Amino acid sequence: MIKGTSKTETVIDAANQTLGRIASRAAHYLIGKHRVGYTPAKPPYEIVKIINAAKLNLTPRKLKWKIYYRYTGFPGGLKRETMESLWRRKPEEVIRRAVSGMLPKNRLRKKRLKKLKIEI
């Protein structure tokens, strides 16, 4: 940590809001674009807390048709899961994946995602 920097916490209420709007707002704060001295290469100092994640507004069509893929590395190891089943199992993971997709694909991505706290 660099001395002289202050860590702040931003709270975002997800009740009755869409997934994309919450994710883009969280990504904006995690990147640090709201700060006056924004530098793309600096690690994050902002902690983003999303509350009421279970009250998020999701459309029925998105729940059925959105599919998350992961690959185990073995032949025939492509696993797929619908948003609906992932939402029932882990609602915070749906939000985390949406925010992750909106962050820049670079070395700071993991550090920024560690600063994301989601409360159901």
Q: What pLDDT, on the 0 to 100 scale, is given for residue 7? A: 73
Q: Which helix (H) or strand (E) holds 24?
A: helix 19-31
38-47 mean pLDDT: 85
**What percent of the chain stands above pLDDT 90?**
82
Q: What pLDDT, on the 0 to 100 scale, is given for residue 6? A: 58
Beta bridge pairs of residue 80 = 69
* Domain contains 24: yes
pLDDT in tens, 56-84: 999 999 999 999 999 999 999 999 999 99
CB 108 within 8 A of CB 40: no
Average pLDDT, the chain: 91
What CATH number does residue 54 fall under? Answer: 3.90.1180.10
pTM greater than 0.85: yes
Question: What's 42's DSSP letter?
Answer: S
pLDDT at 5 over 80: no
Supply the range of the domain harboring residue 108: 8-58+91-118
- Distance separating alpha carbons of residues 12 and 116, to the nearest angstrom: 11
Residue 74 CB contacts under 8 Å (≥ 6 apart), including other chains: none
